[in-house]
Chain A
Amino acid sequence: MEWTKHLLIVPILLPMITGAALLLIDELRHTLKALLSVASTVLLLLTAVALLRMADAAPDAGPALSTAYAVADWPAPFAIVLVLDRLSALMLALTAVLALASLVYSTARWHAAGPHFHTLLQFMLMGLGGAFLTGDLFNLFVFFEVTLAASYGLLLHGSGAFRVRAGLHYIAINLAASLLFLIGVSLIYGTAGTLNMADLAVRLPAVPAEDQTLLRAGIAILGTAFLVKAGMWPLCFWLPSAYMAAAAPVAAIFVVLTKVGTYVLLRLSLLLFGPATVDAGGFGGTVLLWGGMATIAFATFGVLASQAMGRLAGYSVLISSGTLLAAVGIGNSAVVSGALFYLVSSTLSVAAFFMLIELVERAREPAADVLAVTLEAYGGEADESEEHEDEEVGVAMPGALAVLGISFGCVAILLAGLPPLSGFIAKFSMLTGMLNPGGLGAQAAIPGHIWLLVALVILSGLAALIAMMRTGIRTFWAPLEVIIPRVLVVEVAPILALLALCMYLAVQGGAMLSYTNAAADALHAPSTYIQGVMGTGQPQGASR
């Protein structure tokens, strides 16, 4: 069992080595690069699944809910640790699934649209893996920057004026947010004297009273940086344009980027200010709750107002972000468990949607569109990216329109949260948690703002359904002359796989929910996490 410990470093090393090796291969050998990249991502997915099983294998009794890996075997509070628990394992697996899907999709045409697509993607995976696994705030910053630096390149992949303009805004916003991140981190170090998350949680109560305000300010500034990435209103105006401008496979993998911010907020707010700590009030929970609700409301209007499908998908990302932030703000274990389920389900479905959009738009003749004029005015410029069609080889999908239509319907059902797909179970379990704050059966008063949140979550689903139906009718039923798009199997297969995974999640809802329950419970009892991290160094150091 000793070697399995080293699996923790694989999600960082594997993409890094692959990405670096791909740099050495000539740009013209697309097939070779794609093969290597896919093979590496498959390995990554297998590792992530193994880690998922490892995190879940911990018995209910034992305290070993989180495994920590001391990089270079330095003891915990002094050096960087990687920490695996159910939450990080889940995020890793989700990332690997999305990466594989978008990678396979990109092999149809996008990966050849510009240099170094595969390298950038692998570096981004490295950053994401590191961000999910690290147990150190400054290390988190470094991995965040790796992810972002790769994402700048990926967003600009394929070029074009619209993409460059959106990319400029995206880079500027993220650079500013990174500076906030640094200010927050240094304030925390200056007052608490540590950057290890577990150590910070231990030291937090012992910080002298005159420094507490400064420490809170640091944490709040840090939180603001994550809120920019997670896209909380009013920090989210960059998001729809950037996601719309990105190439389809890139947008699909970008969906998980907003979830990094949410992940860190979830982890830190429960670790540092969870119910088990001194100030159980939940620092900043109110901000997250109301900010999340404002985001849902803003994104609901955005979804209804969107003319272009890319923008619609961008606002769906925001709805999902807002719902998650509000759920984190409530901080109730049952709500967080539902929110984790929702995170997986919504990420998969929005990613499938982004990939689907490009295929569906091939079926539309822009000139025949009744709304062509308004589309032009409100950001239909994404069509500039269509210069790349032609010269594609590969197996075309038979019955393309039917497959696309059914997939579109599935995505609509998933986004709206209707049964029978996983979106319904996710929203249902979240709402159950919100309406039963004291656990099932216990009669407890439900505050007014929770009712407001419940209403917003349901209304946002309705809005998503209306918008999707309108778009679907306009795309699949309204055109008199149906253009059968030429769609390749490798393009449809990842979408179908993601949707099938959502269906599987719905069928396996019980198993999945018990996993997220365990994850949420572990988050609410951070002592196991702290023990897992702080306990690592000593026994190893003693054995030497």
Chain B
Amino acid sequence: MELTLAIAIGVLTGSGVWLVLRPRTYQLVIGLSLLSYAVNLFIFSMGRLRVGAAPVLDGASAANPADYADPLPQALVLTAIVIGFATTALLLVVLLVARGLTRNDHVDGRESS
């Protein structure tokens, strides 16, 4: 599972960086989204990978922390996802405005000659 996750993060990051460096605004958005997926997975993995462990203590019995998954990275990922959504939506609006104002989708607003 570790290997799968590591490869997934690597592929997402690589594709994201490549797309961010492209000149089209659409590629920029997709690149940033892929990068943020990679970062979200990375944050998640920083809580160590566990299978079949609940993150929330049930409170009934004296709990052994080793039986539970770390809840904090999961909370962090949730926050990061929400913020990432909002900023991506904002970026999309700006892209559309830029597209309308400059009549092309180059990030500089004009084709590099």
B6 partner residues in chain A, CB cutoff 8 A? none
Q: Known contacts A182-B43, A183-B42, A186-B76; is A168 also within 8 Å of B35 by CB?
A: no
Which residue of the partner chain A has the closest CB to B20?
Answer: A176
- Binary interface profile of B, 70-101, with partner A (CB < 8 Å = 1, else 0)? 00110010011001001110110011011001
Contact A183 B91 (CB under 8 A): no
B28 contacts A by Cβ under 8 Å = yes
Q: In the complex, are the beta carbons of B32 and A168 less than 8 A apart?
A: no
Residue in A closest to B95 when the chains form the complex, CB atoms: A168
Are A168 and B90 in touch, CB under 8 angstroms?
no
In the bound complex, CA of A190 to CA of B94 (Å):
35
Per DSSP, chain B at the interface is: helix
Interface, chain B (partner A; CB < 8 A):
20, 25, 28, 32, 35-36, 39, 42-43, 46-48, 72-73, 76, 79-80, 83, 86-88, 90-91, 94-95, 97-98, 101-102, 107-109
Q: Are B86 and A149 in contact (CB under 8 A)?
A: yes
Q: Count A-side interface residues using an 8 Å CB cutoff.
A: 30
> B28, A172: Cβ atoms under 8 Å?
yes
Q: Are B25 and A168 in contact (CB under 8 A)?
A: yes
Mask, A170-190, CB within 8 Å of B = 1, is: 011001101100110111011
Does B90 lie within 8 Å of A149, measured CB to CB? yes
> How far, in whole Å, are A357 and B27 apart by their CA atoms in the complex?
36
| A165 contacts across to B, CB distance below 8 A | 98, 102, 108-109
Which listed residue, A168, A182, A186, A189, touches B98 by the CB 8 Å rule?
A: A168
Measured between beta carbons, the chain A residues less than 8 angstroms from B46 are: 186-187, 189-190
Given contacts A149-B87, A172-B107, contact A186 B42 (CB under 8 A): yes
List the A side residues contacting B42 at CB < 8 Å.
Answer: 182-183, 186
Q: How far is the CB of B40 from chain A (nearest CB, A)?
A: 8
Given contacts A165-B102, A182-B39, A183-B39, contact A138 B79 (CB under 8 A): yes
Q: Which residues of B have CB within 8 Å of A189?
A: 46-47, 72-73, 76
26 A-B residue pairs with CB within 8 Å: A149-B86, A149-B90, A152-B90, A160-B101, A161-B101, A164-B109, A165-B102, A165-B108, A168-B107, A171-B87, A171-B91, A172-B32, A175-B32, A175-B87, A176-B20, A176-B35, A178-B87, A179-B35, A182-B42, A182-B43, A186-B39, A186-B43, A186-B76, A189-B73, A190-B48, A195-B72
Secondary structure call for the A interface: helix
Closest residue of chain A to B80, judged by CB? A182
Residues of B contacting A152 in the complex (Cβ-Cβ under 8 angstroms): 87, 90, 94
Most-contacted residue by chain A among B48, B80, B98 (CB, 10 A): B80
B73 x A186 contact (CB < 8 A)? yes
The distance in angstroms between the C-alpha atoms of A185 and B43, with both chains bound, is 8
Binding site for B on A (CB under 8 A): 138, 142, 145, 148-149, 152-153, 156, 159-161, 164-165, 167-169, 171-172, 175-176, 178-179, 182-183, 185-187, 189-190, 195
Q: Which residue of B lies closest to A161 (CB)?
A: B101
Docked-complex contact A168 and B94, CB < 8 angstroms: yes
Q: Which residues of B contact A182 (CB under 8 A)?
A: 39, 42-43, 80
CA distance A27 to B36 in the complex (A): 35
Given A148-B87, A161-B102, A164-B101, output 10 extra A-B contacts at Cβ < 8 Å.
Answer: A138-B76, A149-B87, A156-B97, A172-B20, A172-B107, A176-B32, A178-B87, A183-B39, A186-B43, A186-B46
The residue in chain A whose Cβ has the minimal distance to the Cβ of B36 is: A179
Separation of A336 and B20 alpha carbons in the complex (Å): 37
Enumerate chain A residues within 8 angstroms of B79, measured Cβ to Cβ: 138, 142
Complex CA distance for A187 and B43, rounded to whole angstroms: 8
Do residues B39 and A175 form an inter-chain contact, with CB atoms below 8 A? no
Closest to A190 in B: B46
